[in-house]
Amino acid sequence: MKKDLNIAINNLLSVIEQHFPREYFPTKPIARGNPYDCCKYCDVSVPEINSKLHNHEDYCLYRKIREAAEEVEIYILDET
Ligand SMILES: [Zn+2]
């Protein structure tokens, strides 16, 4: 039962990794003429985010998903 749950959670984490990769977040251009891109979900610019998850807005979907995934990963690591 616990093994099945771990497999299910690992499957879920791999789907999250495909859509919300740890290494980079989805971006979009800020505006015409602005050289920078921003987070697709919270509109904070890439330089302001500076590769730090906590620099995304609190409500950012990318941040929320990554924080949730990292919380779950801690439990998975505890089980092994
Ligand atoms: Zn964001």
User: Who's near 36: CB < 8 A, 6+ residues apart?
Assistant: 30, 45, 46, 47
Ligand 1 centroid to 61 CA: how many Å?
7
pLDDT tens sequence across 25-73: 999 999 888 899 999 999 999 999 999 999 999 999 999 999 999 998 8
The pTM of this model reads 0.85
Ligand 1 centroid to 24 CA: how many Å?
11
What residues does each domain of the chain span?
2-79
Ligand 1 centroid to 51 CA: how many Å?
11
